[in-house]
Amino acid sequence: MLTLKDAIFLTITSIVGGGIFILAPLTYLMFGSSSIYGWILLIPTALVMALPFSYATLKISESGGVYKFINDTLGKRIGIASGIIMWLSCVFALSGVVSFFNIVFNIYFSFPIKYFLVILITLLILSGLRIVGLAVRILGLTTILTILYICFKNGFNLELYKFNLKEAIFSVYYSLWSTTGWEGVTMPLSAFKDQRAISLGLIIGTLIIGILYLLFALTVVSLNLKSNSIEEILKALIGENIFLYICILTIIGSCAFSVLFTLSYMPYGFSKDKIFPKFFETLYRGVPIYGVLLNALLTIVLITLNVKVLVDISMFLTLVAYFILYLSVFKVGTKKIKFLTFLSLIVTGSLILLRMVVWI
C-alpha cells in the first residue's frame, strides 16, 4: 500500500513533466519576461485550486477520483458526466506529455520514441504496486534534484523582468496546464493506506511544484535568448551535459508513468458504477490491468495529433471538470472551504471564458 511520501512524490511526478520543459520556454517565447509574473501568480492560484480536491478526497472512500464526490453532491448524471470529462482530459494530457518526451528526445535524435515510451511505462506499471511505489519515490527525487541543478547552474538575472498585465494573465492560463493533474492523483484511493495521505500529499506536492516551476521559469528568462525555438532554449539549458539530458527525459517519462498509473483507476471506478464492463475491476498485482491497457491504447492513438491541439483540448476539458467539482464542494463545504472554492470558481470560470473568446 502507498503512503504520504508516495502521495507527495506521486503528485510531483504526475504534474511535473514535459510541461515544465516545454511551457516555461513557450510562455517566454510568447510573452517575454512578463511570463515570470504568470508563474508567480501560479503558486497561490494552484494552491487555492488544489484545496477543494484535497477536501473532496477526505469525503470519498472508493477509487475512481473526485467524480465519486460529485455523484454524492450533484447527482449521478452530473457525476458520470464530470467523470468522463476528467478521464478524457487526463488521456489528452497524458498524450501531450508523451509528445513532449518525443520533442525533447528529438533535440539530439530523430526517432518516433513516443510509441516505445507508452509500451515501456505500461509494462512497468503492470509489474505491480510495489514497483510503482519504489519508482515514484526515485523519480520524484530525480525530478526535484534535476530542476534545482538546472536552475542554480544557469543562474538568475532579476533585471530582465518587465511587467505587462495582459501577458501575465495569459501566461497563467498556459502555465496552469503544467500544474493541473490533481484529479488524477485522487483516482487510486484504494492503493493508499489512508485517504488523508492523498489529501495532504496534494497540498505539499503542489507547493513544491509551484516553487520548482517559478525557479525554472526565472532561469529560462535569465538566458535572454533571441530565439523562436523551444529546442534552442532547451539546448542552452542542457549544454553538452548528456547526463542532464537523460535526467530531463526521465522526468518527462516519469510524468507519463505516474499519469498512466493513476488514470488506470478511472475505468476501474467506472466499472464499479456499472458505466464500464465489470472486467475493468480486475486487479493484477494491485493494479487495474484493463484500465492501464485501455488508456495506453488511447494514448497511442492520440499522440498522432499536434501537441498544441492536445494541450488545448486537455486544458479546456480539465477546467470544465474542475468547475463542476468546485460547484459540488461549494454546495457542501464549510465556510472557509466555500470561500476558497468560490475563488477557484472565479479563476476556472474566467479561464474558460477567456479560452472560448480566443477560439471565437
Q: What are the tens digits of pLDDT across the range 104-153?
A: 888 778 788 889 999 999 998 998 888 888 888 888 888 888 888 888 88
Is residue 254 within 8 Å of 13, Cβ to Cβ? yes
- Phi and psi angles of residue 192, each rounded to the nearest 5 degrees, phi first: -105, 150
- With cut-offs at 50, 70 and 90, classify the pLDDT of residue 295: very high
- DSSP codes joined into one string, 197-230: HHHHHHHHHHHHHHHHHHHHHHHHHHH----S-H
Report CA torsion sign: 40, 44, 49, 55. Answer: positive
256: alpha, beta or left? (left if phi > 0; alpha if psi -120 to 50): alpha
DSSP 333: S
Comparison of pLDDT for 265 and 231, the residue scoring more: 265
Residue range 9-35: mean pLDDT, rounded: 78
Mean pLDDT for the chain overall: 82
Looking at the domain that runs over 4-359, which CATH code has it been given? 1.20.1740.10
Alpha-carbon span 118 to 70, nearest angstrom = 31
The residue type at 22: I
1 pLDDT more than 80 = no
What angle do the packed helices 335-359 and 165-177 form, to 10 degrees?
100
DSSP assignment of 103-134: HHHTTT--S-HHHHHHHHHHHHHTT-HHHHHH
Specify the pLDDT at position 243: 86
Q: Are 151 and 222 in contact (CB under 8 A)?
A: no
pLDDT at 120: 92
pLDDT score of 13 more than 60: yes
User: How far is residue 113 from each of residues 110, 215, 254, measured CA to CA in Å?
Assistant: 9, 29, 15
Band of pLDDT at residue 40, cut at 50, 70 and 90 = confident
Predicted local distance difference test score (pLDDT) of residue 162: 67
Do residues 128 and 285 make contact, with C-beta atoms less than 8 angstroms apart? Answer: yes
Domain edges within the chain: 4-359
Reference 57, options 248, 188, 230; nearest CA is 188
Q: How confident is the model at residue 61 (pLDDT cuts 50, 70, 90)?
A: low
